[in-house]
Structure 1
Amino acid sequence: MSRRPVNPARRIGDGVNIPFVGAVQSKSRSSPLLSIGLVVVGAILVIGYFYSGSGEPSSEIEVVSKVEGGVSCTLEVQRALPILKKAYGDSMRKVLHVGPDTCPVVSKLLKEQDTEAWGVEPYELDDTDTSCKSLVRKGIVRVADIKFSLPYRPKSFSVVIVSDALEYLSPKYLNKTLPELMRVSADGLVIFSGYPGQRRAKGAELSKFGRPAKLRSSSWWIRYFVQNRLEENEAASKKFEQASTKRSYKPACQVFHLKSHH
């Protein structure tokens, strides 16, 4: 169930020029002491590069520690919940999360005071724990194909959050699913989507989803929103950015805030 996020858009080695690496290689035939000294100096500079600024590990350190598990925007939702609460305020009291591994997101939301939460798992649940089975049994989490109508009345939820799900839909089905997500939300829709080139978290098998993930760029999404007359929730987006800056939070996924249809 657990998938670890990563921000491959900032992978180590992609455009990062670490000083002295070339020098160490070119001096390989010099004396052993000189080589060792250069390696030590290079290591110190690399460490200083990663820890520069606030005195805490930068996001590149997180990239190294999380790259093995691949990216999970659903796990990123859990990290972003405090930021979302700052951005949406009271609207975060009635939330629907749509995406794989929704049970942990719903469980975390339910632990918050005065918060109601539901989840939609777009794919069959495999090897679920007792807590998740309990949520399904109570009807809090449902398994539903998001290519079709969602089993909820209009504006059933204040905020709808979707992650790791739209990437598996062709534009044909996006044209059906996004209006449905809008229909059941009253105060906004938040989309967490992977960056192009990101490696998917383990467990996102082709056999399960039926098609490979199509990780789209921010320009593709923005163009799609404009073409389909989906408006950005500018107020929520601004508050999200402000809260992110204040808490030094850097999303590992793209985050889009859209207005609900009224």
Structure 2
Amino acid sequence: MSRRSVNPSRRVADGGLPSVGGLLHPKSRSPPVLTIALVVLGVIILIAYFNSGSGVTVTSREAVSRSEGSCTPEVMQALPYLKKAYGNELHKVLHVGPDSCTVVSNLLKEGKVEAWGVEPYDLEDTDSSCKSLVRKGFVRMADIKFPLPYRQDSFNLVIVSDALDYLTPRYLNRTLPDLARISTDGLVIFAGNPGQQKAKVSELPKFGRPAKLRSSSWWSRYFIQTGLRENEGPLKKFEQAASKNKYKPDCQIFHLSS
């Protein structure tokens, strides 16, 4: 029996995507495994490229809270001085950042304080107390790159920690004005201190990238550009109370009003 010759063009269709060498030499064909590997590598590179422009570089709440220099524990240390600084204004409070359950839980113990929280990262592996706060609506997950689901002037005070440091300026331009929108009496921002805080090298793979720790002068210029000004009254009371108790925060703390 005579053997039918194989059309070279059909070999390409049967073997998947042709390699560069196959395009130059039609008789050669790259191994299917190598072809698949090249396709997978290309997909990974594309995903990495598009993600590089995202506003938030941290996706894990655990990674933020366990990293060296986290500012959320600083919120708990500063809480007694915030009470003295804001007094009656510490009535309806929103905390934005990781471990919002802890902050909200402590604020609710005050009795006179109504507190809510926004968790910008995952809420996996939380304890029963945190799950209860989420179930009751006191704490919710939300992407802070987009407007929060609250009306204007919903809270007296908005406290932010371990959130803005992970936003690129592109998204910071949207998030900060939105936080000011929902606050009537003030906005308190806890930001990383470039001189004292550095992420552990072992933690970097969990972060994807370390936080962008900006200087106080950078923040001051940015606040002015955004239309925010220093909230002088509460700032002076906060500094007096902190100085009296020799409290020196490791994080930068900004008191702002719109």
Query: If the length of structure 2 is used for normalisation, what is the TM-score?
Result: 0.71
Worse-matched range after superposition: 96-105 or 193-202:
193-202
Check whether the contact 1:4–1:201 (CA below 8 A) recurs between aligned residues.
Answer: no
Check whether the contact 1:69–1:202 (CA below 8 A) recurs between aligned residues.
Answer: no
* Counterpart residue identity of residue 183, structure 1: R
* Counterpart residue identity of residue 256, structure 1: F
Tell me: CA distance 1:190–1:105, structure 2 relative to 1, closer, same or farther (3 Å): same
* Counterpart residue identity of residue 170, structure 1: T
Distance in 2 (alpha carbons) for counterparts of 1:100 and 1:204 = 16
Partner of 1:134: 132
Match of 1:147 among 145, 148, 154: 145
Partner of 1:92: 90
SS in 2 for 1:128: coil
Partner of 1:9: none
Match of 1:241 among 229, 239, 242: 239
Distance in 2 (alpha carbons) for counterparts of 1:179 and 1:84 = 22
Distance in 2 (alpha carbons) for counterparts of 1:87 and 1:115 = 15
Write out aligned runs for 1:11-30 (5 A).
none
Match of 1:177 among 175, 178, 185: 175
Following superposition, the deviation at residue 202 of structure 1 comes to 10
Distance in 1 (alpha carbons) for counterparts of 2:234 and 2:181 = 18
SS in 2 for 1:100: coil
Distance in 1 (alpha carbons) for counterparts of 2:192 and 2:120 = 17
Tell me: CA distance 1:182–1:167, structure 2 relative to 1, closer, same or farther (3 Å): same
1:199 aligned onto 2:198: yes
Check whether the contact 2:118–2:142 (CA below 8 A) recurs between aligned residues.
Answer: yes
Distance in 2 (alpha carbons) for counterparts of 1:201 and 1:104 = 23
Following superposition, the deviation at residue 246 of structure 1 comes to 1.2
Partner of 1:45: none
Distance in 1 (alpha carbons) for counterparts of 2:200 and 2:110 = 27
Write out aligned runs for 1:213-252 (5 A).
213-252=211-250
Following superposition, the deviation at residue 200 of structure 1 comes to 3.6
Match of 1:165 among 163, 166, 173: 163
1:123 aligned onto 2:121: yes
SS in 1 for 2:118: strand
Tell me: CA distance 1:2–1:168, structure 2 relative to 1, closer, same or farther (3 Å): closer
SS in 2 for 1:241: helix
Following superposition, the deviation at residue 113 of structure 1 comes to 2.3
Distance in 1 (alpha carbons) for counterparts of 2:208 and 2:241 = 37
Check whether the contact 1:3–1:201 (CA below 8 A) recurs between aligned residues.
Answer: no
Check whether the contact 1:72–1:201 (CA below 8 A) recurs between aligned residues.
Answer: no
- For structure 2, which runs of at least 5 residues remain unmatched after alignment? 1-60
Task: Select the structure of larger CA radius of gyration.
Answer: 2
Check whether the contact 2:64–2:98 (CA below 8 A) recurs between aligned residues.
Answer: no
Distance in 1 (alpha carbons) for counterparts of 2:154 and 2:108 = 17
Distance in 1 (alpha carbons) for counterparts of 2:115 and 2:250 = 23
Partner of 1:12: none
SS in 2 for 1:119: strand
Identical-pair percentage:
65
Following superposition, the deviation at residue 170 of structure 1 comes to 0.6
Tell me: CA distance 1:202–1:247, structure 2 relative to 1, closer, same or farther (3 Å): farther
Write out aligned runs for 1:56-71 (5 A).
70-71=68-69
Following superposition, the deviation at residue 72 of structure 1 comes to 1.6
Tell me: CA distance 1:224–1:139, structure 2 relative to 1, closer, same or farther (3 Å): same
Query: If the length of structure 1 is used for normalisation, what is the TM-score?
Result: 0.70
Worse-matched range after superposition: 197-206 or 156-165:
197-206
Check whether the contact 2:63–2:203 (CA below 8 A) recurs between aligned residues.
Answer: no
* Counterpart residue identity of residue 199, structure 1: K
Distance in 2 (alpha carbons) for counterparts of 1:161 and 1:86 = 15
Following superposition, the deviation at residue 212 of structure 1 comes to 2.9
Tell me: CA distance 1:171–1:159, structure 2 relative to 1, closer, same or farther (3 Å): same
Write out aligned runs for 1:19-58 (5 A).
none
* Counterpart residue identity of residue 150, structure 1: L
Distance in 1 (alpha carbons) for counterparts of 2:231 and 2:189 = 12
